[in-house]
Amino acid sequence: MRFHSPQKLKTIADLIGSEFVGPENFEVLGTNEIHRVKPGDIVFVNHPKYYDKALNSAATIILIDKKVGCPEGKALLVSDDPFRDFNKINTHFTRIYNFTEELHDAEIGEGTRIHSSAVIGNNVKIGKNSLIFPHVVIGDRTEIGDNVIIQSGTVLGGDAFYYRKLNGNFDRLISVGNVIIENNVEIGNNCTIDRGVTDSTVIGEGSVLDNQIQIGHDTVIGKKCLIASQVGIAGCCIIGDEVTLWGQVGVASGNTIESGSVILGKTGVNRDLKKGTYIGMFAEDFKGYLKKEVKLRNLK
């Protein structure tokens, strides 16, 4: 999430009541989740296991639960609860409506048709000649391009599935990102595409999604991908261009699939994959799988 205007380190520290390490006028441009951070972003970390990853990431402001050595050119915000204060920063700069208020501020392009039963949130943009079917729900800040088809029952921009355990209960990381649907995308019935925690969940130009597909927060789907029914993609994944995911493929969080890959039905993706064709519970090379099956069948 980028702030509407740059902020100062001391301003953010005062907002959350934290100590800071660095010049008080150190520039802060926004916040982001660790997989999507850029220079000028705040990233939070609340476990020593991940200190190095956060401190050495592209983020230049680290919201952390312990005062540690600060890398050159970066700044720290030292908080007793970074998770809580990350939420506090995000909701200070992004209004959360959750359909409780209607601003009627959607921008709708020429030739676009929207069924009267569709529900549209605030700050939504829809391009030209798109078609929104009955009972579609489009959450706040969603951006939809030209010539897009979204079929019945699909929900764009639901909350990210991102929690921590706190005092025996689950505590949500509030989602202030959005969903971006690029031009010429088709999305089937009853799909659910979560908005980013702090960035965008993106469906690339020309991609086609079947029915009953779940795509997690901050995931980026490339151009001209083909995704079959009941595929589940967790958060913060990168799917390259012209990737085919057949039915019931599952992709674990934070993984990358290279452009041009084909993932056969019911395959589980638990690691980054180079271009190829894969099958199986742990995504093995398809040709290797066939050779193994032949050897097993020939055993006496």
Rounded Cα gap, residues 224 and 136, in angstroms: 23
Going from the C-alpha of 38 to that of each of 4, 11, 54, 208, the distances in angstroms are 16, 20, 12, 29
Q: Please report the domains of the chain, with CATH numbers, ordered by start residue.
A: 2-93 (3.40.1390.10), 107-278 (2.160.10.10)
Q: Which of 4, 92, 104, 217 is catalytic?
A: 217
pLDDT tens by residue, 246-279: 999 999 999 999 999 999 999 999 999 999 999 9
Q: What average pLDDT does range 155-172 have in this prediction?
A: 95
Cβ–Cβ < 8 Å for 146, 128? yes
Among 200, 177, 196, 166, CA closest to 83: 166
Asked if pLDDT for residue 127 goes beyond 90, the answer is: yes
**Residue 56 class from Cβ within 10 Å (0-12 exposed, 13-18 middle, 19+ buried)?**
exposed
Rounded Cα gap, residues 202 and 94, in angstroms: 20
| pTM score | 0.94
pLDDT tens by residue, 168-227: 999 999 999 999 999 999 999 999 999 999 999 999 999 999 999 999 999 999 999 999
pLDDT tens by residue, 130-154: 999 999 999 999 999 999 999 999 9
Query: What pairing do the DSSP bridges indicate for beta strands 2-8 and 27-31?
Result: antiparallel
35 a catalytic residue: no
Q: How many CA atoms lie within 13 A of 190 on its CB side?
A: 6
The pair of three-digit structure tokens given for residue 8, joined into one six-digit string: 């100062």
pLDDT for position 299: 81
Cβ–Cβ < 8 Å for 224, 238? no
Task: Give percent of the chain with pLDDT exceeding 90.
Answer: 93
What's the chain's average pLDDT? 96
The torsion angles phi and psi of 2, rounded to 5 degrees, stand at -95, 135
pLDDT tens by residue, 64-82: 999 999 999 999 999 999 9
Asked if pLDDT for residue 300 goes beyond 70, the answer is: no
pLDDT for position 52: 96
Q: What average pLDDT does range 102-118 have in this prediction?
A: 96
The H or E element that residue 13 is part of is: helix 9-16
pLDDT for position 297: 84
